[in-house]
């Protein structure tokens, strides 16, 4: 990456733009590239409202993804090299559900551009519609079901995704001028040609994979053999199908797990999932499999059904042969069987959950081309089908994926539509900034450990009896403390090489031994822990923060001091690492008279310059509330802060001001009451100056 | 490197008393490295001066700026503040910078914020010690790499004197006898012959006795007239 100069920083305008030069892995690996680090940073300071806006900037299905996302952000979280990944999804869940649909900003733009029709109100279609609305188009989404949301609405069981949670996302999207018409199936109630003649300038096909695959085996058309989507959709529509007491789910993926766990909840006494794969080969997530097992789902591995045995019109068993292998040497799906080894698995109900396929019904009466395998012809570079005004996105044209992947596909298609309708060639820029590399183990070893906050999950015995969510949202405190575990990857120090004097101060104050100084200092972003110690101590002001900067607080503090009226004014800078979420809110009734509290994630970035400015801006004194030894998230901060306070006291002494105006207390980790007592005592000393 | 320390605040305040609008100018060279005169210190000092003025019931406009080195003409092009729009500049560079800037801005009072003290090496984080006097006639080759001009409080070249007391100096009992150190070092190096050799009196014209010293590199030197254009 290019080295930074003060001229380039000036050109960028804001040091936060530096975050664009290199992405943290959570953002990089997120399919919609949500600015994870930024919203986690806001959540870490209890700024929920700002956090949800950052999330929704890129992710329209924030609430849904808070519940069901496969979270590649967490899978790539660098905190895993220290202890455990940050529970990003759970923080998002708390933030988005706490804010609801109305708690996030709606950015309405003038929609004076052409109308665009979207077929299918799933994540891909709704994401495309939202982006088109934000670009000034007038999107109308046609949905065959009575509810918008696609698979999350019709096939994700409510114990994983409550309907009201999904509705938050739908409502927020629709507030942007997205019209959803439900109960209209394209290809049946209307054709694509009808949409064109109704004046839609472009059409986006986002119908997903709406049909369940089934096996062409004897007995498969029995009424108690349910294609999995039919089964789940019926449950989600409160029309639960009649099942027997002994259910076999055929399949080993996540949808099969949803079906099995749903069958448990419908009262089946025995539910077993039969799959070709051995336990470690199953496509279902480990956690989904283990949660199913806790709820009593049994597993029959390495068996392939050959026959659904029906006696007297009722299912009595599934005959299944031994699977000798699932994948070939190149790990391609290519199962082999031993026909001599066949077992009979007793059951009275079968759910087929072996995958989904596209419902091509929307093509009725349309000349859109299909490929030799019957799939919609589509150019992945432009999202266009054989008709350049008809686009496709989501699972109908991509591999089966998750909600967030569908959103990404829809957003990309929306860009294609915009370029097409603007008469421009469709070139979609997919290039990303480089991602921050892995952290060296000896650096990881210096980071303070902090265990991941657990989500409270209901006991399996209890949760299997109802369709209520299986786990609880974080509390505000847990969400904040979990967010505070974020290491702020890439939000650390950046050297302005034209100002650096190679004085070695950064190297000497860094608690993690990261800077390397040759002609100038270099601070490797993959190693920097973003404590900000070097930023504060650099004598040349040659190191800037890529993320939050205590200097931002100068303006805030000045404004608060100006608005504080007459009477004594003390600024308390507080290390909030140990404080409850409510304290960060600094509610008026909780505030001590004459004290302006400035809450910081650590006092590591609180420098003498900031504190001096507060005095200059009218503060009578300053109380720094730091932690005891080890009470700050970063090593050596306590000692360094003590030196800064001594320096400031000496500076005041030099100009005839009483050094006692600056007070340092160490009780940030002792709770709010202790903190208040300490501030009151310190304020008393300041008042006596 | 050159070490300079900030002047006592009273002295600075008195110096600035006639002025209402002052630029505190840091230097990105030696004084940044010794943490006393860089941009950060300029920023802090400007704030401190504004507060001091307010304490005294005066108004003082104090801004800060910093350039790479105050001892090179070209770097003054990088100033973001124009010194001519200030009543005075408080330079926190070494004395070379203050004087050089005075020549460049003859219409503006350029005031010294620092006392320039010594040529130093860094002996620990935040600690610098004098290692060289800039005498113009280096003797380190025969003193075991220890400078008698600096490390002997009498700058003797044929030490030791009679005032060494258990390895300490009679002038400053905190200070080790430089010549004893030289002796120990030469002994360890097997070079005591150097110690026994009587050295001639030093030529003080190479030091401060010959007026302003200049370095003119024939292969690089421009005429000062063209350099001033």
Annotate B142-169 with b (16+ C-beta within 10 A) or e (fewer).
Answer: bbbebbbbbbbebbebebbeeebeeeeb
All residues at 6 or more sequence positions from A17 whose CB lies less than 8 Å from its CB, including other chains = none
Residue A110 lies in a domain: no
- Give the class (CATH, top level) of B2-118: alpha beta
Q: Which domain holds residue A352?
A: 212-356
Token code pair at residue A456: 């409270």
- On whether both A582 and A666 belong to a single domain, the answer is yes
- On whether both A182 and A255 belong to a single domain, the answer is no
Residue A305 lies in a domain: yes
pLDDT (tens digit, 9 = 90+) per residue, A335-382?
999 999 999 999 999 999 999 999 999 999 899 999 998 899 999 999
Candidate from B9, B39, B47 with C-beta closest to A616: B47
CA distance A617 to chain B (A): 10
Q: How confident is the model at residue A105 (pLDDT cuts 50, 70, 90)?
A: very high
Three-state SS sequence of chain B: CEEEEECCHHHHHHHHCCCCEEEEEEECCHHHHCCCCCHHHHHHHHHHHHHHHHHCCCCCEEEEEEECCCCCCHHHHHCCCCHHHCCEEEECCCHHHHHHHHHHCCCCCEEECEEEEEEEEEEECCEEEEEECCCCCCCHHHCCCCCHHHHCCCCCCCCCCCCCECCECCCCCCCECHHHHHHHHHHHHCCHHHHHCCCCCCCCCCCHHHCCCCCCCCCCCCCHHHHCC
Domain tally for chain A?
5
Candidate from B40, B52, B68 with C-beta closest to A539: B40
Three-state DSSP at A327 gives: strand
Sheet holding A595-600, edge to edge: A595-600, A570-575, A621-626, A662-666
- Helix axes B39-55 and B9-16, enclosed angle (nearest 10): 70
Higher pLDDT, A627 or A229: A229
- Chain A positions contacting chain B at CB under 8 Å are 498-499, 501-505, 508, 538-542, 608-609, 612-613, 615-616, 651-652, 654-657
Chain A residue with minimum CA distance to B54: A616
Domain boundaries along the sequence of chain B: 2-118, 135-204
Three-state DSSP at A343 gives: strand
| Range A152-166 average pLDDT | 96
- pTM metric for this prediction: 0.89
- On whether both A585 and A640 belong to a single domain, the answer is yes
| Range B12-41 average pLDDT | 97
Check B41 against A539: CB less than 8 A apart.
Answer: yes
- On whether both A235 and A290 belong to a single domain, the answer is yes
Q: How confident is the model at residue B224 (pLDDT cuts 50, 70, 90)?
A: low
- On whether both A164 and A182 belong to a single domain, the answer is yes
Residue A553 has pLDDT above 90, yes or no: no
Check A656 against B44: CB less than 8 A apart.
Answer: no
Check A612 against B44: CB less than 8 A apart.
Answer: yes
Among candidates B83, B84, B66, which has minimal Cα distance to B75? B66
The CATH number of residue A261's host domain is 3.50.50.60
- On whether both A185 and A154 belong to a single domain, the answer is yes
Chain B residue with minimum CA distance to A651: B48
- On whether both A216 and A352 belong to a single domain, the answer is yes
Residue A588 has pLDDT above 60, yes or no: no
Candidate from B39, B48, B125 with C-beta closest to A651: B48
pLDDT at A15: 78
Higher pLDDT, A66 or A552: A66
* Helix H or strand E encompassing A442: helix A441-444
Q: Where is average pLDDT lowest: A316-330, A395-409, A577-591, B153-167? A: A577-591
- On whether both A217 and A311 belong to a single domain, the answer is yes
pLDDT at A2: 80
pLDDT at B229: 41
pLDDT (tens digit, 9 = 90+) per residue, A479-533?
999 999 999 998 899 999 999 999 999 999 999 999 999 999 999 999 999 999 9
pLDDT at A576: 87
CA distance B171 to chain A (A): 31
Check A654 against B66: CB less than 8 A apart.
Answer: no
Check A657 against B55: CB less than 8 A apart.
Answer: yes
| Range A325-331 average pLDDT | 93
CA distance B39 to chain A (A): 5
- On whether both A606 and A522 belong to a single domain, the answer is no
Burial environment of residue A536 by CB neighbours within 10 A (0 to 12, 13 to 18, 19 or more): buried
Compute, in degrees rounded to 10, the torsion defined by CA atoms A72, A19, A514, A71: -10
Q: How many CB pairs under 8 A join A and B?
A: 70
Check A499 against B39: CB less than 8 A apart.
Answer: yes
- On whether both A557 and A638 belong to a single domain, the answer is yes
Chain A residue with minimum CA distance to B125: A508
- On whether both A462 and A393 belong to a single domain, the answer is no
pLDDT (tens digit, 9 = 90+) per residue, A280-311?
999 999 999 999 999 999 999 999 999 999 99
CA distance B66 to chain A (A): 8
Token code pair at residue B215: 């370095």
Please state the φ and ψ torsions of residue A461, each to the nearest 5 degrees: -60, -35
| Range A186-209 average pLDDT | 97
In a mutational test of the A interface, the residue from B35, B55, B74, B114 whose CB has the highest number of chain A CBs within 10 Å is: B35
Check B43 against A501: CB less than 8 A apart.
Answer: no
Q: What percent of chain B stands above pLDDT 90?
A: 93
pLDDT at B208: 86
How far apart are the C-alpha atoms of B55 and B48, rounded to whole Å? 10
Q: How confident is the model at residue A579 (pLDDT cuts 50, 70, 90)?
A: confident
Residue A427 lies in a domain: no
- On whether both A587 and A680 belong to a single domain, the answer is yes
Candidate from A504, A608, A656 with C-beta closest to B44: A608
CA distance A120 to chain B (A): 58
CA distance B35 to chain A (A): 6
How far apart are the C-alpha atoms of A642 and A537, rounded to whole Å? 13
**Based on C-alpha coordinates, what's the Rg of chain B?**
22
Higher pLDDT, B221 or B186: B186
Q: Yes or no: say if A115 and A204 are a contact pair by the CB < 8 Å rule.
A: no
Q: How confident is the model at residue B228 (pLDDT cuts 50, 70, 90)?
A: very low
Chain B residue with minimum CA distance to A541: B40
pLDDT at B227: 47
pLDDT at A78: 96
Residue A3 has pLDDT above 60, yes or no: yes
In a mutational test of the A interface, the residue from B7, B42, B44 whose CB has the highest number of chain A CBs within 10 Å is: B44
| Range B129-148 average pLDDT | 96
């Amino acid at each position: 990456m290019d080295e930074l100069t003060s001229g380039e920083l000036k050109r960028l305008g804001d040091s936060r733009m530096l975050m664009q030069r290199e992405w943290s892995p959570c953002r990089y690996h997120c399919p919609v590239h949500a600015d994870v680090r930024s919203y986690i940073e806001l959540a870490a300071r209890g700024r929920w409202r700002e956090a949800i806006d950052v999330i929704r900037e890129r992710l329209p299905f924030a609430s849904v993804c808070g519940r069901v996302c496969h979270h590649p952000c967490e899978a790539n979280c660098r905190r895993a090299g220290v202890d455990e990944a940050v529970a990003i999804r759970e923080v998002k869940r708390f933030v988005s559900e706490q804010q609801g649909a109305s708690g996030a900003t709606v950015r309405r733009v003038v929609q004076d551009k052409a109308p665009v029709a979207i077929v299918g109100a799933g994540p891909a279609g709704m994401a495309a519609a939202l982006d088109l609305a934000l670009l000034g188009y007038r999107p109308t989404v046609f949905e065959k079901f009575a509810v918008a949301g696609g698979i999350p609405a019709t096939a994700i069981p409510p114990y994983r995704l409550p309907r009201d949670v999904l509705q938050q996302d739908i409502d927020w999207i629709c507030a942007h001028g997205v019209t959803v018409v439900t109960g209209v199936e394209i290809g049946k109630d209307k054709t694509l040609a009808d949409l064109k003649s109704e004046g839609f300038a472009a059409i986006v096909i986002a119908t997903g994979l709406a049909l369940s695959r089934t096996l062409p085996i004897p007995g498969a058309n029995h009424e108690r053999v349910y294609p999995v989507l039919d089964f789940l959709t019926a449950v989600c529509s409160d029309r639960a199908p009649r099942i027997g007491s002994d259910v076999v789910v055929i399949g080993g993926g996540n949808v099969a797990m949803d079906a099995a766990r749903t069958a448990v909840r419908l009262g089946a006494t025995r539910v077993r999932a039969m799959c070709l794969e051995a336990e470690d080969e199953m496509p279902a997530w480990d956690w989904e499999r283990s949660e199913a097992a806790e709820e009593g789902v049994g597993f029959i591995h390495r068996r392939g059904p050959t026959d659904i045995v029906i006696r007297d019109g009722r299912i009595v068993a599934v005959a299944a042969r031994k699977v000798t292998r699932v994948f070939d040497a190149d790990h391609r799906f290519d199962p082999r069987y031993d026909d001599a080894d066949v077992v009979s698995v007793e059951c009275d109900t079968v759910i087929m959950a072996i995958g989904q396929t596209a419902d091509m019904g929307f093509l009725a009466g349309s000349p859109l081309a299909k490929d030799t395998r019957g799939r919609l012809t589509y150019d992945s570079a432009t999202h266009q089908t054989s008709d350049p005004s008809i686009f496709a996105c989501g699972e109908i044209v991509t591999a089966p994926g998750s909600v967030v992947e569908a959103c990404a596909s829809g957003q990309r298609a929306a860009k294609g539509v915009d370029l097409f309708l603007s008469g421009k060639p469709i070139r979609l820029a997919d290039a990303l900034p480089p991602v921050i590399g892995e952290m060296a183990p000896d650096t990881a070893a210096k980071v303070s450990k902090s265990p991941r906050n657990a989500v409270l999950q209901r006991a399996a015995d209890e949760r299997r009896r109802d369709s209520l969510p299986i786990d609880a949202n974080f509390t505000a405190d847990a969400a904040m403390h979990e967010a505070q575990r974020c290491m702020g990857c890439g939000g650390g120090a950046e050297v302005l090489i034209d100002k650096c004097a190679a004085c070695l101060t950064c190297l000497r104050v860094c608690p993690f031994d990261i800077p390397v100084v040759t002609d100038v200092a270099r601070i490797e972003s993959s190693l920097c822990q973003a404590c900000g110690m070097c930023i504060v101590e650099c004598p040349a002001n040659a190191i800037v923060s890529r993320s939050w900067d205590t200097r931002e607080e100068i303006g805030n503090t000045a404004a608060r001091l100006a608005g504080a009226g007459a009477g004594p004014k003390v600024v308390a800078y507080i290390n909030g690492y140990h404080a409850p979420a409510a304290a960060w809110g600094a509610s008026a009734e909780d505030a001590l008279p004459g004290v302006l509290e400035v809450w910081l994630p650590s006092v590591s970035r609180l420098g003498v310059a900031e504190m001096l400015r507060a005095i200059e801006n009218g503060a009578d004194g300053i109380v720094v509330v730091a932690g005891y030894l080890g009470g700050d998230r970063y090593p050596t901060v306590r000692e360094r802060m003590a030196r800064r306070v001594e320096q400031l006291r000496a500076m005041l002494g030099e100009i005839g001001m009483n050094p006692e105006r600056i007070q340092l207390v160490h009780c940030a980790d002792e709770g709010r009451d202790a903190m208040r007592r300490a501030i009151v005592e310190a304020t008393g000393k300041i008042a006596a100056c | 490197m050159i070490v300079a320390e900030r002047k006592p605040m009273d002295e600075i305040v008195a110096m600035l008393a006639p002025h209402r609008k002052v630029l505190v100018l840091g230097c990105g060279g030696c004084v940044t490295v010794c943490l006393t005169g860089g941009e950060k210190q300029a920023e802090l000092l400007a704030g401190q001066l504004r507060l001091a003025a307010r304490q005294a019931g005066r108004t003082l406009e104090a801004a800060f700026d910093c350039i790479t080195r105050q001892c090179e003409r070209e770097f003054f092009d990088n100033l973001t503040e124009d010194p001519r729009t200030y009543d005075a500049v408080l330079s926190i560079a070494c004395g070379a910078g203050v004087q050089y800037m005075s020549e460049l801005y003859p219409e503006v009072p350029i005031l010294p914020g620092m006392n320039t003290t010594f040529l130093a090496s860094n002996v620990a984080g935040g600690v610098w010690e004098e290692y060289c006097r800039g005498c113009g006639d280096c003797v380190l080759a025969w003193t075991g790499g220890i400078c008698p001009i600096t490390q002997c409080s009498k700058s003797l070249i044929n030490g030791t004197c009679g005032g060494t007391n258990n390895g300490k100096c009679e002038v400053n009992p905190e200070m080790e006898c430089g010549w004893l150190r030289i002796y120990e070092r030469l002994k360890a190096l097997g070079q005591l012959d150097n110690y026994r050799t009587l050295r001639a009196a030093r030529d003080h014209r190479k030091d401060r006795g010959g007026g302003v010293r200049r370095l003119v590199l024939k292969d690089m030197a421009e005429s000062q007239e063209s350099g001033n254009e």
